[in-house]
Structure 1
Amino acid sequence: MAAAADSPIPSQIKGWVYSEYGKASDVLKLETNVPIPELKEDQVLIKVIAAALNPVDSMRMIGFFKVNDTIPTVPGYDVAGVVVKVGSQVKNFKEGDEVYGDLNEEAHEFPKKVGSLAEYNVAEEKVLALKPKNLSFAEAASLPLAIETAYEGLERVGFSAGKSVLVLGGAGGVGTQIIQLAKHVFGASKIAATSSAGKLDLLKSLGANLPIDYTKVKYEDLPEKFDVVFDAIGEPDRALKAVKEGGQVVTIVAPHPTVPFFVLTSTGTTLEKLRPYFESGKVKPVVDPSGPFPFSQAVEAFSYLDTSRATGKVVIYPIP
């Protein structure tokens, strides 16, 4: 794939574009004449090989961030690809480097008009990291936004060795990474996580001591309470009933009067910090088994993502 760095760079590219707000099935169209983004001094131009979808993509597409957004837009935050050009101030990357990251430093603050669902895009050096050699492009693309969110959330609540955590939505894109980070990076004493019955074995394999079938068990009624409850599905009121006195709840889904809510600040530094865990295989990407979806099936991939039934991440690969 690194040979892509030697190919001539076109002035117009293929990309999935929406020019009005709505569901992907209604508004997302494949276009062949997307202008290639202009490269700034602190950016690199990436030949995209793989991308991953996130709920934030769907929220943006239906107009959730209109105040800071403009259309037409190519969606996509997570990217993995090959550097084909570097800005004059870039120090850590060169042409031919295989990189990955979350393109938008602030998810809601003026996100890029050309996201990862295009043949090329640009990203600031600071949001990228070198792709671990043992990960495929599809695996690497699945990680950035989810694992950076998981890591930042655990850090914000001061999670540390010997503490217990309950993960709400343990089989999702962020949840699968919270479990692994809590176990291997932060040294959790106990990890509980919720999912449907068919995904309980996955939770165990990732490191959960107490997999909970949310269709049969009300986690807030368990006699055991937790030092931290990480809400990745939007149930902060129930989460508050599952936390120990003096413990903390953090949510990434919706603001709540008494529960800390945060929006990720994307940084390649986190990916670099976690590199040894990826390379050792202790922390693994979790790509939904329905995919990867080919580039031509981006609309179908969004429709699947929007069911909220995906396991891990929905990935688009290969991107021509």
Structure 2
Amino acid sequence: MKAIILNGFGDVSNFSLAEMETPVIKNDEVLIQIKAAAFNPIDYQMRLGLRESRLMRSPVLGREFSGVVLKTGNEVNDFEPGDEVMALAGSRGSNGSYAQLMGLNHKLLAKKPKNISFEQAAAIPSSGVTAWQCLTRMGATKNNSIFINGAAGGVGRFLIKLLKSQGISNIVATAGSEQSITALRDLGLNAAQIINYKDDELEQNILNANAGNKFNFAVDIVGGSIAETAAQVLAVNGTYLDVTFLGTQTTREILFDKGCNILNISGYAYALADNLGWYGNTLNKITALIEQGDIDAPAVNVIGKFSIQTVQQAHVLMEANQIYGKKLVMTIS
């Protein structure tokens, strides 16, 4: 099979096209022909050799995809050849998703929603399961107020959809470009609920959007200094959802002084515990919501076909934060 491999940590020039052996699957695995692969910020963090790179098991990057089952192991009863699937492989597969094929444990798979394309399905897994974990662990009610930092990204947009499907609408979110603001408007947020994080008096503007009150929940999907703002607008004993592990020391100090609850949103927790079924089961729930029309599929930007140039372009755009409310996707076969 053909795959795009990373030859060393550094810039995008380190990608090359290679011929690799067809994965040999184990009894609890399936072999999948990848039809579309989505790009995730973790990809470029791995490329740079940052913290996430320690999880790499293959020189082929890529964590999420959709495709068609070609072959199943002897212990697999929930899938058969021809099934259209999607998966959050993380770093658990035979290789990453910048490839034509992947061998993967069947518990990481879910059936693709029948009413959407492979490209749309490829954009679901990482953002979907992260947003689902946020939703279920926060336990918000219709009376709660929620601030989402970096809401125009994949996780933020998915979380807004899930919250609104539960009737939770008191949401305030940040965005930094007209394209991102438009993406949030398309999700049903009005102008008063969207704050440009580049504006002066950011903290006060966020509070004003909540009638001057501090929030029950703050979801940080950005990290860095703006995570401190998310902590500042949170109420005493409020709940802070850390999706990035990129908050500052000051962020933690603010949260400690307020006696806030901190939820570390980590998909790795399930993989490390070998509770792989959480991934597949969660994705199956999302598939049901999409097929029932309770939420719609993510907006995608199909930036190209399977090639080194497509991968390089995706990494440049992600690293420059030029996604603008659409998941980057590559078609493969």
Give me the TM-score of the superposition, normalised by structure 1: 0.86
Deviations 1:75-118 (A, max 9, x none): 111110000000111111000000001012xxxxx644511110
Of 231-240 and 92-101, deviating more is 231-240
Q: Which residue of 1 aligns with 2:8?
A: 20
Question: What is the rounded CA distance, in whole Å, between the counterparts of 2:280 and 2:158 in structure 1?
Answer: 16
Deviations 1:162-217 (A, max 9, x none): 32211111111111111111111x32141111112413232122132411122225
Question: What is the rounded CA distance, in whole Å, between the counterparts of 1:49 and 1:176 in structure 2?
Answer: 24
User: CA offset at residue 61 of structure 1?
Assistant: 1.7
Partner secondary structure for residue 161 of structure 1: coil
8 Å Cα contact 2:57/2:95 also seen in 1: no
Distance 1:164 1:217, change over 3 A: farther
Distance 1:132 1:126, change over 3 A: same
Q: Which residue of 1 aligns with 2:298?
A: 286
Question: What is the rounded CA distance, in whole Å, between the counterparts of 2:23 and 2:143 in structure 1?
Answer: 47
Question: What is the rounded CA distance, in whole Å, between the counterparts of 1:228 and 1:127 in structure 2?
Answer: 30
User: CA offset at residue 66 of structure 1?
Assistant: 4.5
Partner secondary structure for residue 130 of structure 2: helix
Q: Which residue of 1 aligns with 2:28?
A: 42
Instruction: Give the letter for the 2:231 counterpart.
Output: L
8 Å Cα contact 2:72/2:80 also seen in 1: yes
Of 306-315 and 85-94, deviating more is 306-315
Q: Which residue of 2 aligns with 1:115?
A: 96
8 Å Cα contact 1:75/1:113 also seen in 2: no
Matches within 5 A, 1:209-228: 209=190, 210-216=193-199, 218-221=201-204, 222=207, 223-228=212-217
Question: What is the rounded CA distance, in whole Å, between the counterparts of 2:53 and 2:128 in structure 1?
Answer: 26
Deviations 1:280-308 (A, max 9, x none): 3442233344x332212221122112211
Q: Which residue of 2 aligns with 1:307?
A: 320
Q: Which residue of 2 aligns with 1:253?
A: 244
8 Å Cα contact 1:167/1:178 also seen in 2: no
Question: What is the rounded CA distance, in whole Å, between the counterparts of 1:69 and 1:292 in structure 2?
Answer: 25
Of 74-83 and 150-159, deviating more is 150-159
8 Å Cα contact 1:77/1:103 also seen in 2: yes
Instruction: Give the letter for the 1:135 counterpart.
Output: I
Question: What is the rounded CA distance, in whole Å, between the counterparts of 1:174 and 1:113 in structure 2?
Answer: 26
Instruction: Give the letter for the 1:83 counterpart.
Output: V
Q: Which residue of 2 aligns with 1:5?
A: none
Partner secondary structure for residue 228 of structure 1: strand
Partner secondary structure for residue 293 of structure 1: strand
8 Å Cα contact 2:314/2:328 also seen in 1: yes
Q: Which residue of 2 aligns with 1:274?
A: 286
Identity %: 30
User: Which residue of 138, 144, 152 maps to 2:133?
Assistant: 152
User: Which residue of 144, 151, 173 maps to 1:193?
Assistant: 173
Paired residue total: 297
8 Å Cα contact 2:214/2:235 also seen in 1: yes
Instruction: Give the letter for the 1:124 counterpart.
Output: N
Q: Which residue of 2 aligns with 1:54?
A: 40
User: CA offset at residue 47 of structure 1?
Assistant: 0.3
Of 62-71 and 134-143, deviating more is 62-71
8 Å Cα contact 1:219/1:242 also seen in 2: no
8 Å Cα contact 2:243/2:264 also seen in 1: yes
Distance 1:188 1:94, change over 3 A: same
Question: What is the rounded CA distance, in whole Å, between the counterparts of 1:161 and 1:123 in structure 2?
Answer: 39
Question: What is the rounded CA distance, in whole Å, between the counterparts of 1:207 and 1:39 in structure 2?
Answer: 44
Pairwise CA RMSD: 2.0
Question: What is the rounded CA distance, in whole Å, between the counterparts of 1:67 and 1:95 in structure 2?
Answer: 33
Question: What is the rounded CA distance, in whole Å, between the counterparts of 1:68 and 1:170 in structure 2?
Answer: 26
